[in-house]
A and B are shown apart, each in its own frame.
Chain A
Amino acid sequence: MGIEEKLPSGVLLTTVEGVAGYMRKASFWPATFGLACCAIEMMTTGGPKYDLARFGMEVFRASPRQADLMIVAGRVSQKMAPVLRQIYDQMPDPKFVLAMGVCASSGGMFNNYAIVQGVDHVVPVDMYLPGCPPRPEMLIDAILKLHDQVQHAKLGKNRLDEIVEAEATALNALPTSEMRGMLR
């Protein structure tokens, strides 16, 4: 068929994208960034029972410069928002944001003057995780889905095209305020 036929045993062929995605997803280093009660669940997730070490993620870095995943665990107050943005800016690319819990995703129960109504007002979010607070299993599920996204992310021009396409899709999407029908 192709070059695969000529290879000695023990050699696999893949794409650069595949290898890069595999390496990125298999060594996520989350930043230590707990804001509220969701942080308790996040800590539990890193503990021995739920064991985030199974996915190579047990090392939460205290410095954003050594981290590539920010788990926004809790409500973001207006005062915390610039701090959060600075931590995000200090993280090296490629970096990902997981909005953990309804408060980080949409403001949740705190619909008032003090709380940012969703962390996506401040930083781009790759994965939203509902729950108040979400169970550790849900956080692990969200992380695994994010792993899947990262594994299949494209590189170079394909990545740029992907971004442009995603933005065009989002701009043309029907806003939820104009959706009709069952509230689900």
Chain B
Amino acid sequence: MTPTEPTEPQGPQPAVEKPAVRQSPENLPPGKDVVAPSSTTEGGETTIEQPAVGVRTGMFGVPDTGDTSGYGGLVKPVVFPGAAQRPYGGWFDLVADGLDGLIEKVVIHRGEITFHVHRDHLLEVAGKLRDDPALRFEFCSGVSGVHYPEDTGRELHAVYHLLSMTFNRRIRLEVSCPDADPHIPSIVAAYPTSDWHERETFDFFGIIFDGHPALTRIQMPDDWPGHPQRKDYPLGGIPVEYKGGTIPPPDQRRSYN
């Protein structure tokens, strides 16, 4: 199948690299707990920083003097990468053209492109990505869940990794849903391989994929209460005692954040 644009280059193309400072929240100047939405102009291109959805302190270890990791004083805002502006460069624009009007936001982070899609448009986007001869994303290699407990209204995210074998392109789709209404349409009809992946994401995060043929737990026992990969799920564990010495369970010795 020939692509719609005859001038389009074939085969693998180098990913579009952008300066790391502008793209990576890890490299923000210290002390910025909350970054207000603002337009900054760097290098002739305009990006919009997103507000922080939380603050992360420390690395491992107890919060006070018991921390032996050396990172106890670390304070880091949880900031999403800013939305990218056109032109995205390379084949990114071509894919974005095919999805025009269905995308909430496009993020280019470390040379990889992520399309944020509202859950109402997910089925349409998935259908286009698979069937449009200019896009041809034949393969969905997985559905991942992410839990951002402080991102109010968008607590649960489902991330789809798509591969176009024809053009050797990889993109991500990111869909969010609130914790109070954890419903996302299932894309099993378009990508049958996501059957078990959606079951796993449901099992671990509690996202309900509407339209899935048999949405049951796949990893945990059938009667398991709760969804273990959510941030607020307790790690469990028992205190270990031996000859008078007692060691508390790991989640009371360390903070896993």
- Residues in chain A within 8 A of chain B (CB atoms): 78-79, 111-114, 117, 176-183
Query: B238 interface residue, CB < 8 Å from A?
Result: yes
- The segment from B49-57, B148-156, B240-248 that touches chain A is B240-248
Chain B residues in 8 Å Cβ range of A114: 220, 228, 236
CB proximity to A under 8 Å, residues B200-245 = 219-221, 224, 228, 234-238, 240-245
Q: A79-B221, A111-B237, A178-B244 are in contact. List 9 more A-B contacts (CB 8 A).
A: A111-B238, A112-B250, A113-B228, A113-B237, A114-B220, A176-B242, A177-B244, A179-B243, A181-B244
Query: B127 interface residue, CB < 8 Å from A?
Result: no
Chain A residues in 8 Å Cβ range of B73: none
Chief secondary structure at chain A's binding surface: loop
Q: A79-B220, A111-B237, A113-B236 are in contact. Are A183 and B245 (CB under 8 A)?
A: yes
Query: B90 interface residue, CB < 8 Å from A?
Result: no
Q: Which residue of B lies closest to A79 (CB)?
A: B221
B249 touches A111 (CB 8 A): yes
- Residues in chain B within 8 A of chain A (CB atoms): 219-221, 224, 228, 234-238, 240-245, 249-250
Q: A112-B250, A177-B244, A180-B243 are in contact. Are A78 and B221 (CB under 8 A)?
A: yes
A112→B250 CA distance, assembly (Å)? 8
B242 touches A111 (CB 8 A): no
A78→B225 CA distance, assembly (Å)? 13
Chain A residues in 8 Å Cβ range of B228: 113-114
Q: Which residue of B lies closest to A78 (CB)?
A: B221
Which among A117, A178, A180, A181 is the interface contact of B238 at CB below 8 angstroms? A117
Which among B219, B224, B243 is the interface contact of A181 at CB below 8 angstroms? B243
Chain B residues in 8 Å Cβ range of A178: 244
CB distance from B257 to the nearest CB of A (A): 16
Which among A79, A111, A180 is the interface contact of B244 at CB below 8 angstroms? A180
CB distance from A169 to the nearest CB of B (A): 19
B234 touches A113 (CB 8 A): yes
CB distance from B248 to the nearest CB of A (A): 10
Q: Which residue of A lies closest to B249 (CB)?
A: A111
Chain B residues in 8 Å Cβ range of A182: 243
A117→B249 CA distance, assembly (Å)? 12
A111 touches B221 (CB 8 A): no
B243 touches A111 (CB 8 A): no
B242 touches A112 (CB 8 A): no
CB distance from A65 to the nearest CB of B (A): 25
A78→B250 CA distance, assembly (Å)? 18
Chain A residues in 8 Å Cβ range of B219: 79
A156→B73 CA distance, assembly (Å)? 66
The 9 tightest CB contacts between A and B, nearest first, are: A113-B236, A111-B237, A179-B243, A79-B221, A177-B241, A112-B236, A112-B237, A112-B235, A180-B244
CB distance from A43 to the nearest CB of B (A): 25
